[in-house]
Structure 1
């Protein structure tokens, strides 16, 4: 049913609760996981000495993230391909769906609401609207909330 799974990952982010879901689908269907990180920086259009170093840091972070995720999946016996691509994340993901023949996209959702949602938007939400294949959205655990709960439990 699913032979090609697309797994977008954010540069520099260590957390992605969608990874275990992509892994589970890959194991179940003996599928290949395509890990992609889209680099979208305003710095590429800026001029000046700081712009280049910022873009390089983002690029390096994306490379490290893709390498880390692909290594973890390979260690679990999953066939995996990693890519870092420059451009608008939604466009990159939409193009990658076609380029790799993805049957499904598995990606995190930060479940922002209110003004945060209006100001920041949601790549996941946009991908759901434009995708030609099913998109599995996985809510990200609130790391700060989890830490606060652990501290409360320690205090009791």
Structure 2
């Protein structure tokens, strides 16, 4: 049923409750998991001496994240391909669906409410609307709710990528 599973991951984030779901589907169907992380091109538009260093940190974080996830999946005996792509996370994920011939996308969903939802939006939510294949969304509300209570906002910069999300 599923031969190719797309698993977007955010650079710099270690949290992604979607990984076990992708792993389970891959084991069940003998599928290949394609791990993708997007390097948002908005950072490329910044000027000045700090912009280059920031872009390099984001790219390094994306490469480390993809490597960590691919290593984890390979250790479980799953065929996996990792890739870091420059671009807007929504575009990167949408293109990856087509490029790898994904049968399904597995990605986390942050359950934001109020002003944070209006201002930040959600890559996952957008992918659900535009994807030509099924999208499995894995809620990550507990971790974000705990962070909100403690005031820890360290992952806010990653929340809208695809933990990308990509």
Aligned match of 1:6:
6
Would you say the 8 A contact 1:6–1:33 is kept in 2? yes
Q: Secondary structure at the match of 1:34?
A: strand
Asked if 1:142 corresponds to 2:134, the answer is: no
* Greater mean alpha carbon deviation, residues 77-86 or residues 37-46: 37-46
Deviation track 1:94-134 (CA, whole Å, cap 9, x = no partner) reads: 10000000000000001111110000000000000000000
CA distance in 2, matches of 1:43, 1:29: 38
Post-superposition, which runs of at least 4 consecutive aligned residues in structure 1 deviate over 6 A? Answer: none
Query: How much does 1:41 deviate?
Result: 4.3
Aligned match of 2:60:
60
Q: Which has the higher contact order (CA 8 A, sep 6+)?
A: 2
Structure 1: which 5+ runs fail to align?
Answer: 149-156
CA distance in 2, matches of 1:141, 1:43: 27
CA distance in 2, matches of 1:122, 1:71: 27
Q: Secondary structure at the match of 2:105?
A: strand
Query: How much does 1:42 deviate?
Result: 2.5
Aligned match of 1:88:
88
Aligned match of 2:103:
103
Tell me how many residue pairs correspond in the alignment: 147
Deviation track 1:38-75 (CA, whole Å, cap 9, x = no partner) reads: 11142201111000000000000000000000000000
Structure with max Cα Rg: 1
CA distance in 1, matches of 2:125, 2:104: 15
CA RMSD of aligned residues (A): 1.3
Structure 2: which 5+ runs fail to align?
Answer: 150-166
CA distance in 2, matches of 1:83, 1:69: 11
Q: Secondary structure at the match of 2:57?
A: helix
